[in-house]
Structure 1
């Protein structure tokens, strides 16, 4: 049985659940969101990723109804939501602090919104039990928030947010308070819950690994603008700018001037008296155009001799070594002063390092290993 790939953004007939159309938000002189146009689809797990102050929380607050756009429109299921108050939107928001009621039990916390909607008791009970099961909290139903762990509190907040079956759930840095190991486990739980409920999740995070793990698509933001929206693989393998390449993961950036070579390849003249590097690209670069080659360290090989077949190879010396358990990253300084990072997998239990500090080495990569960027 072939599994269909979830990619509604590639289907022109799919109607987005959320549409931002030319949305700008100003606070006095400061522009928090600058002419934003963006579609988010039903059942998506969508991540807004960027440094502090890039506008991601403002976008979320506008979706929740706590802020209104200065100009432009936001639609939810085809309806302009500008005039709809927060409590009337099919949107729920889960805050970083979880905002649980300390005096209420886990059960009562989850039931809170349903009681306010005056639902029949049997319906409330059934829904709360469903949420407890979904978040694996049945055993903790009678406990108060202070009697459970941080990870469990996080799940209570999630259960409470999902109890009213919103069309859209907004998560503001939801895992910020958890330690690294728990964070990782909770990321997979979130994905699982999102898939089971079919709710559209929009998560705000500055943690790139988190965004890359959970999201179907990621919007990388900077200063109120969306720089690129794509799947995690595309963002990593085919960034559209140096900013995006640099923001996601580790990367080498080599700047120079392009010169068209054979079809689909370009020479990158990066330093006088050094042979140009060869880079493949589908995009056209004019002769002499300033450009940047972005290459991930894991795509750069390190060796003591110059590899015979290498399309790009340059000599340097080992300046630094970062041992990360499963990987080692070598910082290699070239004669121009440029430092390139090369990564090797530590496949054997105790591998004798082939290279050490100050060793002369060659770094090499293929013509298709990097991405040539104009900006």
Structure 2
């Protein structure tokens, strides 16, 4: 039986859990959120990604109830939540600092919110035990926060946030304090917990790798606006602008003018003494239109001799970055442009075929790049 793909955003009959409708947020003269419209669906793991100061935390604070929009509407499950106090929303927020109570045990930290709702003791105990099991913290229930590791504290904060079964959990840079290996393991734990509980997660991060790993969809933000919302795969393979292409991963960008030469096929004139390069694009471009070609380094090959392919440019090796599993060659073209080509190091001791200052050819196919208008 074929597995059904989770993609409620493609179903016109699905009602979003969260709707931002023309939301603006101004602090004095500064516009933090600029006419933002966005839908987030139930059971999504949604990532808000962007540089510091792009408005992603302001969006989250508005969802949590710590800020109200200057104008526009935010709906949660069909209700306008503007003016609804934070503690009356079916929303919980997990902070970067975790904000655990140092004098309480792990068990009591998780029970804290439930006790404030004055649930009966048996119900609280059952729920706390369920959360301990979900986050694999049963052995640490009686320890204080300072007696456990950073990764375990992070899980306590998560368990406490989920204990009240919120419709929506907001995570503000939740893995910022963890080291790289632990962070990676925790990303998969988060995904697992999100799937098991079916809670909608919205995560704020400036770490693109994190967003691409955990999210069902990513919203790339800049200066209070959403530049693109799509699945990680679409954001990476089909960015809608140079900003998004450049923000996610590594990319080569050639600037030039387009000339249609066949169905969905264009030539890009990009340098005075260089031959035009060829690209395929379903998006139409007119003759002479300024455009940009974005090509990921892993789609660029490097050769000693001129290859017989769509696009080949000669240059010399300027720099080599050895990343263990990959080597990235920075090839300087006669125009001064740098093209990065990535090569997988498949052999144990990889003998370099190319070294610094070597003359080389870089090439890519006409379907390897994305032609962008802006």
TM range (shorter): over 0.9
Q: Secondary structure at the match of 1:66?
A: coil
Partner of 1:143: 143
Q: In structure 1, how many angstroms separate the alpha carbons of the residues matched to 2:258 and 2:83? A: 51
Write out per-residue CA displacement over residues 196-248 of structure 1, whole angstroms, 9 at most, x where no aligned residue.
00000000000000000000000000000000000000000000000000000
Correspondences of 1:111-122 after superposition (within 5 Å): 111-122=111-122
- 1:236 has 2:236 as partner: yes
In structure 2, the residue matched to 1:101 is 101
User: How far off is 1:262 after superposition?
Assistant: 1.1
Report the 3-state secondary structure (helix = DSSP H, G, I; strand = E; otherwise coil) of the residue aligned with 1:188: helix
Distance 1:178 1:268 in 2: 44
Tell me the distance in 2 between the aligned counterparts of 1:77 and 1:56: 21
Q: How does 1:1-375 map to 2 (within 5 A)?
A: 1-308=1-308, 310-375=309-374
Task: Quote the Cα distance in structure 2 between the aligned partners of 1:273 and 1:240.
Answer: 29
Residue 273 of structure 1: how far off its partner (Å): 2.3
**Pairwise CA distance, 1:272:** 1.1
Query: How far, CA to CA, are the matches of 1:336 and 1:99 in structure 2?
Result: 53
SS at match of 1:261: strand
Q: Which ranges of structure 2 fall in alignment gaps of 5 or more residues?
A: none
Q: What is the CA–CA distance in structure 2 between the aligned matches of 1:215 and 1:63, rounded to whole Å?
A: 18
SS at match of 2:259: strand
Shift of 1:80: 0.2
Q: Distance in 1 between matches of 2:59 and 2:283?
A: 32
- Cα deviation, 1:298-334, whole Å, max 9, x if unaligned, reads 00000001112x1000100000000000000000001
d(CA) in 2 for partners of 1:262 and 1:13? Answer: 38
- What TM-score, normalized to structure 2? 1.00
Aligned-residue Cα RMSD (Å) equals: 0.4
Query: Cα distance, 1:75 vs. partner?
Result: 0.1
Matched positions, count:
374
Q: Distance in 2 between matches of 1:160 and 1:301?
A: 49
> Hey, what's the Cα distance between the residues in 2 that align with 1:115 and 1:183?
31
- Once structures 1 and 2 are overlaid, which stretch shifts more, 270-279 or 200-209? 270-279
Q: TM-score, normalised by structure 1?
A: 0.99
Within 1, Cα distance between the matches of 2:25 and 2:272?
Answer: 47
CA distance in 2: counterparts of 1:83 and 1:304, whole angstroms = 65
Residues in 2 aligned to 1:57 and 1:271: alpha-carbon distance in whole angstroms? 41
Give me the whole-angstrom Cα distance separating, in 1, the residues matched to 2:272 and 2:256.
Answer: 10
- Tell me how far 1:116 sits from its aligned partner: 0.2
What do residues 337-371 of structure 1 show as CA deviations (whole Å, max 9, x unaligned)? 11000000000001100000000000000000000
Aligned equivalents of 1:333, 1:288: Cα separation in 2: 26
Distance 2:161 2:313 in 1: 55
Post-superposition Cα deviations, 1:94-141, rounded to whole Å, max 9, x if no partner, equal 000000000000000000000000000000000000000000000000
What is the rounded CA distance, in whole Å, between the counterparts of 2:138 and 2:154 in structure 1? Answer: 15
1:83 is displaced (CA, Å) by 2.2
Distance (Å, rounded) in 2 between the aligned partners of 1:301 and 1:325:
18
Q: Distance in 1 between matches of 2:87 and 2:48?
A: 23
In 2: Cα distance, 1:286 partner to 1:273 partner: 23
- Tell me, in whole angstroms, the C-alpha distance in 1 between the residues paired with 2:258 and 2:315: 23
